[in-house]
Structure 1
Amino acid sequence: MDVSLTLIDLAGFVALLLWGVHMVQTSVQRAFGANLRQMIGRAVSNRYKAFASGLIVTALLQSSTATGLMVAGFVAEGLMALVPALAVMLGANVGTTLIVQLLSFDVAAIAPVLILLGVVMFRRSSGSRSHDLGRAFIGLGLILIALHAILGLITPYEDTPSLRLLLGLVSTEPVLAVLFSAVITWAAHSSVTIVLLAMSFASKGVVTPDAAFALVLGANLGTALNPVFESGSGQDPAARRLPIGNLINRVIGVAVVLAALPWIGPLIVSIEPNEARAVADFHTAFNIVVALAFFPVLDRFAGLLTRLLPSAPAASDPSRPLYLDHASLGIPVVALGAAAREALRLADILEELLRAGRDAIENGDTKRIVDAKRLDDQIDRINAAIRTYLSALDVEQLTDDDHRRLSEILTFATNIEHAGDIVSRNLLTDAHKRVKRALTFSKEGQAELVAMVDRLIVNLRNAASLLMTGDARAARALTTEKEAFREMEANESEAHFQRMRAGRIETIETDTLHLDILRDIRRINAHLVAAAAEPVLQREGALLPSRLRPADSAG
């Protein structure tokens, strides 16, 4: 029997197992991602609801890492306190054990049925939730096939001296088994896969039950490493409290249970003689015990984490993105939420720019004008960061709704940047020109321009709100402002000419400057409408393809 070929076969089936787990996770994310995020978001009132939501969401996703990224996003946005977030993670760690419980039974015979059902759903329902669920069923079928094949490959080699030597070392050195399993789990990004492998080895007698339990402890430790490493050392320490807190309770739990393993192992085997089921029960029991141990002390634990990881001082570079967490790119619904939150910062900076323009029109503070122009550079850099961040998303994981949301965010950010360019390069420049040349507007003209900028700021706030709500009624209301500003420009232009004819305008240069500012204000408003209202109305089918009257009805 060729050992090399068998090792290649084994590696291939392990890869198939990993791919099956990946298919299940990503398919459920695509089918229910937004709903699962909302479920967690609603569980902020107490730790019991948070624990239950973490358990349910992770049981569906089969990825505590994915759940952790969602929760970390809520904590970073200030929508969830650290205590319920930690409770969600305790529930998530229990939830990820449930599929192992299911697969610990002999269900390999239903693999063809799952794949057949999955293929039918996948091909018949393109672009729908059934399509994604069909992909999940295919993934489950692949998991069962891979597990069955791995068991078949292992059986002839159970008594191979080299394998017995290696696995004997693991069996006699539980600490080594934990570390080995933790590293493999970290590299594979899947504790479920490693636990299933440990279950397979135990069921064939390749490793002792105690060694399999040690491998399970390592898998639980390794899965907590990924969020810590992915959060990055450059992040605000406060954003790392949740993943580090989850890692700490894993380390403490693993250390205590590993020390007690000589007594715990025989007890579990005596209760459940089936080796595969014993491993699955140990995995579930470990996470339940850790949850029960930490649940009563979550307040103190959160306080300790807050003291150890205090919030960083305000960033000195205002153009640095605050919400674009690259660890969230694997979860599109979380990444899109982060990008939308970052896009709202563009609206805040543009409002500051507009206020500077308003002040410049009223009192002509040149220092204020010069300082405000730097804000446009902030808008440009943040917009570039948003575009780069969204371009890193895996297109295959995006649903139709995700693609639409991505387009809305990019449209909003691009139009806000264009509006900022107009304020910086035109409106503020014209205001600065007026001060340098000692030009003065009439009281009526100045009041009219100030009132239009104030109305522009209100429209900017409505556009920012619309990006988050997508409300069609609000979109229609904002769109009417486009025509209103066009009429205001025409009326103010006519009134301005009337004042000229009455001899109330001191110079033609002032007149030209006034009209230029009116035109800039209207263009800025047009970008606000295009940023938030038009994408919503286009989605609702409420926009005409052209404003032109058909040629046969003209004249």
Structure 2
Amino acid sequence: MNISGMVLGLIGGLGLFLYGMTLMSDSLEKAAGAKLRGVLELFTKNRYVGIIVGVVFTAIIQSSSAATVMVVSFVNAGLMTLYQAIGVIYGANIGTTVTSQLVSFNLSQYAPVFIMAGVLMLMIFKNPTVKKAGEVVIGFGILFLGISTMSSSMGALKELPAIQNLFMSLDNRFFALLLGLVITAIVQSSSVTVSIVLLLAQQGLLPLKICFFIILGCNIGACMSAMLASLSGKKNAKRAALIHLLFNIIGSIIMAVILLIGSDWIEALIMHISGGNLGRCVANTHTIFKVFQVIILMPFMSWIVKLTYLIVPGEDNDVEDEYEMKYIGDGDRLSSATAIPQVCSEISHMGEIAIGNLEKALDALLTKDDKAAKEVFEVEKRIDYMNKEITDYLVKANQISLPVGDRKKLGALFHVVSDIERVGDHAENIAEDVEKLIDMKEDINGMAGDEIRRMQEMTVKILHLSMDMFNLEDDSHLQEILDLENAIDAKERELQDLHVKCLTTGECSAQVGMMFSDLASNLERVADHATNIAFSILEEDPEGDKPPKVELA
């Protein structure tokens, strides 16, 4: 084999390896991402349990970058605190070593079997989850096919004296660490870099002592994905990414000092543990270093969290008075596993603002508070802004590969955002009447005012129940919501009758009577939107029928 053939073989093998790993990781996220995410949220209340969860979670999805990006997104969405996140981040650093352990075993000869098995799963089964599992198996096979291709090319390259001299001349430990850092930051996967180092060591092209320092550099370079994901996030998201970075920087410094003092006996120990197999030596080194770092830094978890507050000072802004999103960024760095939880948190936040604005509008109308009415108009501008930003975010989320469960929710979320925006519109309609009442020197008071207050209480209650149902994805309030919706419809008819009575008896002017009628209609339509929000979490029935959507006049 000539040099150009060897180089092409290396490039092709690396391409297959990268594609196989990406396909396997992405398919696992799509097949089980929502369930894994639920496990992650459930079992991270204790930071030490979080370490175990982080190990298992990352070992399954085969990517510490994906796991830490997910954690950063959870922190940004308020679903996880920094003290819960740190345990998962520690565990993710151990879990990522599973890939190099798999690579160190000679499974390349079985690659065609995995690929064929995956293809059959795609062709035979119709279930989306099984199809994604088939993609996982194909990715696993392609990964080892790439390893086989790279290994063959490296085996030929090592016969060239120039190549041998080039690799064996890498005796500068600082340069080795920097090399691992830069390459990993570029490919955004320590598993890929460590696997390549493993293959080079197997072929005798890299001495084990240099591999140690390249691995330390890989650990730091792997933090790039989380750092990038945190850029558009809140301060706590930046702190979560910093925890990952600080863990690896501090841990790598400690390991580097230990290696400088006693690299010979460490090398001898790892060689003994690995039975003299250089590939296994690299894989075991990767795992041992990570486990050692976790053990050493475990007592200092709280200190590391506090250190991130010194580096990123201040509190997260509540952004109540700013046109700024609380949980989602610009959508340019969407994580498939956390895009939907983040946007659901933002939709919930939008719902809270809309409900508060509706209450303020009703209070402003009944008290003729012009200042409060103007505040309603300003908040409505923010709701319109949120509607546009969330809708744009959902469009971008629709263009990426989402977990199967999240993909099913996407269409309903568009409707929920629209319904909340319409609640805001009705609040604005109500606030517009305040100035008219002031100009006419009229009031909505007496019995009419009391009846509107009762209808307001019912409408606000159904909105809160519907948003709770949306947030918790729990239909336990469904019957209460339906009963309330019927009661509000009945109340609206009652108020319309009262309106006619007031007009015929001359108790109110025609203008105030019309305003009263419109107010009752607005509240009834708000209740319809609330019911639609509640129905959004209900899945289609086995025959494919969707839950009924309330028709709005």
Structure 1 length as normaliser, TM-score?
A: 0.91
Aligned positions of 1:134-533 closer than 5 A? 134-169=134-169, 171-232=170-231, 235-261=233-259, 262-263=263-264, 264-272=266-274, 273-312=276-315, 314=317, 315=319, 317-325=321-329, 330-393=334-397, 395=399, 397-424=401-428, 426-505=429-508, 507-533=509-535
Structure 2 counterpart of 1:31, one-letter code: A
Identity of aligned residues (%): 24
Which stretch shifts more, 94-103 or 373-382? Answer: 94-103
Which stretch shifts more, 32-41 or 532-541? Answer: 532-541
Alpha carbons of structure 1 residues 45 and 528: separation in structure 2 relative to 1, 3 Å:
closer
Alpha carbons of structure 1 residues 47 and 508: separation in structure 2 relative to 1, 3 Å:
closer
TM-fit CA distance, 1:81:
3.6
TM-fit CA distance, 1:383:
1.7
How far apart, CA to CA, are the structure 2 residues paired with 1:484 and 1:115?
Answer: 60
How far apart, CA to CA, are the structure 2 residues paired with 1:123 and 1:372?
Answer: 56
How far apart, CA to CA, are the structure 2 residues paired with 1:318 and 1:399?
Answer: 32
Q: Which string of whole-angstrom CA distances, capped at 9 and with x for unpartnered residues, describes residues 451-489 of structure 1?
A: 212221111111211212333453354244444333322
Kept after mapping to 1: 8 A contact 2:328/2:342: yes
How far apart, CA to CA, are the structure 2 residues paired with 1:527 and 1:271?
Answer: 65
Q: Which string of whole-angstrom CA distances, capped at 9 and with x for unpartnered residues, describes residues 523-552 of structure 1?
A: 2222222233255265684746999xxxxx
Structure 2 counterpart of 1:97, one-letter code: T
TM-fit CA distance, 1:177:
1.9
Kept after mapping to 2: 8 A contact 1:343/1:386: yes
Alpha carbons of structure 1 residues 305 and 543: separation in structure 2 relative to 1, 3 Å:
closer
How far apart, CA to CA, are the structure 2 residues paired with 1:265 and 1:96?
Answer: 22
Kept after mapping to 1: 8 A contact 2:387/2:417: yes
Structure 2 counterpart of 1:225, one-letter code: M
Kept after mapping to 1: 8 A contact 2:331/2:393: no
Structure 1 counterpart of 2:493, one-letter code: A
Kept after mapping to 1: 8 A contact 2:53/2:91: yes
How far apart, CA to CA, are the structure 2 residues paired with 1:394 and 1:500?
Answer: 52
Kept after mapping to 2: 8 A contact 1:236/1:312: no
Kept after mapping to 2: 8 A contact 1:423/1:524: no
How far apart, CA to CA, are the structure 2 residues paired with 1:513 and 1:326?
Answer: 41
Alpha carbons of structure 1 residues 56 and 430: separation in structure 2 relative to 1, 3 Å:
same
TM-fit CA distance, 1:323:
0.6
Q: Which string of whole-angstrom CA distances, capped at 9 and with x for unpartnered residues, describes residues 173-201 of structure 1?
A: 22212212211111112211111111111
How far apart, CA to CA, are the structure 1 residues paired with 2:487 and 2:539?
Answer: 18
TM-fit CA distance, 1:147:
0.5
How far apart, CA to CA, are the structure 2 residues paired with 1:81 and 1:386?
Answer: 24
How far apart, CA to CA, are the structure 2 residues paired with 1:179 and 1:124?
Answer: 48
How far apart, CA to CA, are the structure 1 residues paired with 2:135 and 2:539?
Answer: 33
- Provide the residue aligned with 1:30 in structure 2: 30
Kept after mapping to 2: 8 A contact 1:127/1:400: no
How far apart, CA to CA, are the structure 2 residues paired with 1:535 and 1:279?
Answer: 48
1:110 counterpart = 2:85: no
Kept after mapping to 2: 8 A contact 1:51/1:90: yes
Kept after mapping to 2: 8 A contact 1:227/1:327: no
How far apart, CA to CA, are the structure 1 residues paired with 2:391 and 2:483?
Answer: 29
SS at match of 2:496: helix
Alpha carbons of structure 1 residues 241 and 396: separation in structure 2 relative to 1, 3 Å:
closer
Kept after mapping to 2: 8 A contact 1:476/1:533: no
Alpha carbons of structure 1 residues 342 and 544: separation in structure 2 relative to 1, 3 Å:
closer
SS at match of 2:362: helix
Q: Which runs of 5+ in 2 are unaligned?
A: none
Alpha carbons of structure 1 residues 539 and 252: separation in structure 2 relative to 1, 3 Å:
same
Aligned length in residues:
543
Which stretch shifts more, 326-335 or 396-405? Answer: 326-335
- Provide the residue aligned with 2:101 in structure 1: 101
Alpha carbons of structure 1 residues 91 and 534: separation in structure 2 relative to 1, 3 Å:
closer
Which stretch shifts more, 511-520 or 193-202? Answer: 511-520
Q: Which string of whole-angstrom CA distances, capped at 9 and with x for unpartnered residues, describes residues 301-360 of structure 1?
A: 222323332333634753200111568955333110010000011111112211212212
Kept after mapping to 1: 8 A contact 2:531/2:550: no
Structure 2 counterpart of 1:468, one-letter code: N
How far apart, CA to CA, are the structure 1 residues paired with 2:150 and 2:37?
Answer: 35
Kept after mapping to 1: 8 A contact 2:32/2:403: no
Alpha carbons of structure 1 residues 530 and 538: separation in structure 2 relative to 1, 3 Å:
farther
TM-fit CA distance, 1:260:
3.7
Alpha carbons of structure 1 residues 4 and 59: separation in structure 2 relative to 1, 3 Å:
same
Which stretch shifts more, 312-321 or 360-369? Answer: 312-321
How far apart, CA to CA, are the structure 2 residues paired with 1:325 and 1:58?
Answer: 25
Which stretch shifts more, 100-109 or 373-382? Answer: 100-109
Which stretch shifts more, 409-418 or 237-246? Answer: 237-246
Which stretch shifts more, 479-488 or 53-62? Answer: 479-488
Alpha carbons of structure 1 residues 288 and 327: separation in structure 2 relative to 1, 3 Å:
farther
Alpha carbons of structure 1 residues 367 and 15: separation in structure 2 relative to 1, 3 Å:
same
Alpha carbons of structure 1 residues 533 and 443: separation in structure 2 relative to 1, 3 Å:
same
TM-fit CA distance, 1:90:
1.2
How far apart, CA to CA, are the structure 1 residues paired with 2:362 and 2:256?
Answer: 67
TM-fit CA distance, 1:132:
1.5
Kept after mapping to 2: 8 A contact 1:18/1:190: no
Structure 1 counterpart of 2:349, one-letter code: R
Which stretch shifts more, 470-479 or 332-341? Answer: 470-479
Kept after mapping to 2: 8 A contact 1:198/1:212: yes
TM-fit CA distance, 1:235:
4.0
SS at match of 1:344: helix
Structure 2 counterpart of 1:151, one-letter code: S
TM-fit CA distance, 1:442:
4.4
Structure 2 counterpart of 1:275, one-letter code: L
Alpha carbons of structure 1 residues 545 and 36: separation in structure 2 relative to 1, 3 Å:
closer
Kept after mapping to 1: 8 A contact 2:373/2:431: yes
How far apart, CA to CA, are the structure 2 residues paired with 1:52 and 1:313?
Answer: 29
Aligned-residue CA RMSD in angstroms? 2.4
Alpha carbons of structure 1 residues 498 and 393: separation in structure 2 relative to 1, 3 Å:
closer
Alpha carbons of structure 1 residues 479 and 535: separation in structure 2 relative to 1, 3 Å:
farther
Q: Which string of whole-angstrom CA distances, capped at 9 and with x for unpartnered residues, describes residues 262-309 of structure 1?
A: 333344234431110000010000000000100122122222323332
Structure 1 counterpart of 2:235, one-letter code: P
How far apart, CA to CA, are the structure 2 residues paired with 1:106 and 1:443?
Answer: 85
How far apart, CA to CA, are the structure 2 residues paired with 1:441 and 1:257?
Answer: 75
How far apart, CA to CA, are the structure 2 residues paired with 1:465 and 1:71?
Answer: 24
How far apart, CA to CA, are the structure 1 residues paired with 2:223 and 2:366?
Answer: 57
Which stretch shifts more, 434-443 or 257-266? Answer: 257-266
Alpha carbons of structure 1 residues 534 and 238: separation in structure 2 relative to 1, 3 Å:
closer
